[in-house]
Amino acid sequence: MISTTNSPYYSGVESSPYRFNNLSFEEQRKGRLAESIDEYLNEGRANGDVESIDVFYQDLRDCIQDLIDYHGKRKDHAVAALEAVLGHRPIAELGDEFPRPQGNRL
């Protein structure tokens, strides 16, 4: 939640749980990002901590890396499923009763 009226994103309704109701998804997303950035920067200013920008930068990098890792695992899972559908990997339930296709031929 934006805690200061000096923020360029402060509209006076920040205390309302319904503040995003009449905004588009893009406007809501930008508002949430602005609140997060504002929280990082104002926290450092309130504590006299000039390193808040470093904390913000490191946390931002960590979050992006977490997304890369997560989506990488999901991609690997989807690729494995596609390989099974295309017959490029053995399926335990079929055993060796059926000949496995060679290459990408059906």
Give the pTM.
0.55
How many Cα atoms sit within 13 Å of 4 on the Cβ side?
13
Q: Could you report the per-residue pLDDT of 17-33, keeping only the tens digit for each?
A: 446 678 888 998 898 89
pLDDT of residue 71: 95
